[in-house]
Amino acid sequence: MSHEDLVAMIPVDHEMAAKKGWDKMPFEPLLQRLENKTARRIMRLDDPHPKPKPAGMSQAEWKAFKKRFSETELHMQYTILDQ
């Protein structure tokens, strides 16, 4: 997990997890580590649509991420380019 373009996907709905008694989902230390390793390039199922620019991410980083990322209310897609 050291590539400069690393992106993580977290398929969790925190609100629903809390209703099931899993209120620590996603696990905060893991989430923080993923944010660090991915420069905040994280696709979360429970992010609002459209996904907001994460705090601490520069406008240039956000633009580069959005270039490969698309979303609707029903899906998220991230295109990986084979280099």
pLDDT at position 60 is: 94
The reply to whether 2 falls in a domain is no
Give the domain extent around 68: 8-78
The structural domain count of the chain equals: 1
- pLDDT per residue as tens, the chain (83 positions): 788 889 999 988 888 889 999 988 889 999 999 999 999 999 988 888 899 898 889 999 999 999 999 999 889 999 988 76
Q: With contact defined as beta carbons under 8 Å apart, do 33 and 40 qualify?
A: no
Q: How far apart are CA 22 and CA 62, in angstroms?
A: 31
The reply to whether 29 falls in a domain is yes
Q: How far apart are CA 71 and CA 83, in angstroms?
A: 24
pLDDT at position 4 is: 82
Residue 44, phi then psi, degrees to nearest 5: -110, 135
pLDDT at position 65 is: 92
pLDDT at position 79 is: 93
Strands 42-44 and 69-71: unpaired
pTM for the structure as a whole: 0.79
